[in-house]
Amino acid sequence: MPDSADYRKYLEEKFAGLQKLQHAYFRELHDRFDGIEKQNEKRNGRIEKAEDGIKGLSRLVYIGLGIWLVLQPIIIYVITKIK
């Protein structure tokens, strides 16, 4: 029986069906991974924007601190002279 042409045709049909299922499964996995990749790209973009904003605010804080450190002695001097 395993040597017959009908049995060979039967096996080829069964394997063809399994192969179609396997390809469909891998297509589904590929689509899901594409969706995950797109979500990560969006998330990374938002994170980069937030990091840029934080860096900008940090610069402003350091500039403000520097100005305060420069002006503090002058302000204290003026206040002590007014009294």
Q: What is the pLDDT of residues 17-70, one digit of tens each?
A: 888 889 999 999 999 999 999 999 999 999 999 999 999 999 999 999 999 999
Give the side-chain half-sphere CA count within 13 A for 82.
6
Structure confidence at residue 4 (pLDDT): 79
Give yes or no for residue 81 having a pLDDT over 70.
yes
Confidence bin at 6 (pLDDT 50/70/90): confident
Q: Is the pTM of this model over 0.75?
A: no
Smallest CA-to-CA distance from 80 within 72, 20, 2 is with 72
What is the C-alpha R_g of the chain? 35
- Of 2-6, 12-16, 54-58, give the range with the top mean pLDDT: 54-58
Report d(CA 48, CA 51) in Å as an integer.
5
**Rounded distance between C-alpha atoms, residue 30 and residue 36, angstroms:** 10
- Residue-range domain boundaries for the chain: 1-83
